[in-house]
Amino acid sequence: MQSFIQSSDAILRQRGYRLTPQRHMILRVIQEADAHLSIDQIMERVQQQNPYVSLSTVYRTLDLLKSVDLIHESHLPGEQPMYETVDGHAHHHLICRRCRVTFHLDQSLLGNLNEQLQKQYQFHGLSLGLVAAGYCNTCWDSIQQEEQKS
């Protein structure tokens, strides 16, 4: 955990930013969660530590942390974005639309799509993140049972 914060501080300094107490707190909240957090969840956890941190500070900090690739934002259409720390690899998720269980997918599933996109479209420094949504077995079974009852 401490090494992540130290490396984050180095990345921010390299890009001309400081790791302010608010940025440190928000980054630590996301890192310690070891899961995907919504803005509301981040705000709640941050305000438990410091009730004077505003929602606009959280939004600005999330934008900055995304721009320097310290956190990743994923979302489904019509859903609130979810945040987690970046582990340096392509980032793919499988999310249940009902219970929101989230699985990290093996990056090898998409083969060398990243390289193909860079070569075919002449893009550089490309990051790739796939979000696939459906229903887990438990939720799918519940949906089927609900449909049979109606």
Which residue positions form the known binding site for Zn(2+)?
Answer: 96, 99, 136, 139
Number of C-beta neighbours around residue 95 at 10 A: 22
Q: Which amino acid, one-letter code, is at 59?
A: Y
DSSP 101-121: -EEEPPGGGGTTHHHHHHHHH
With CA atoms as reference, report the closest residue to 91 among 103, 105, 70. 105
Cα–Cα distance measured from residue 116 to residue 121, given in angstroms and rounded to the nearest whole number: 8
Q: Which residues are annotated as a binding site?
A: 96, 99, 136, 139
Give the strand pairing for 91-96 and 82-85: unpaired
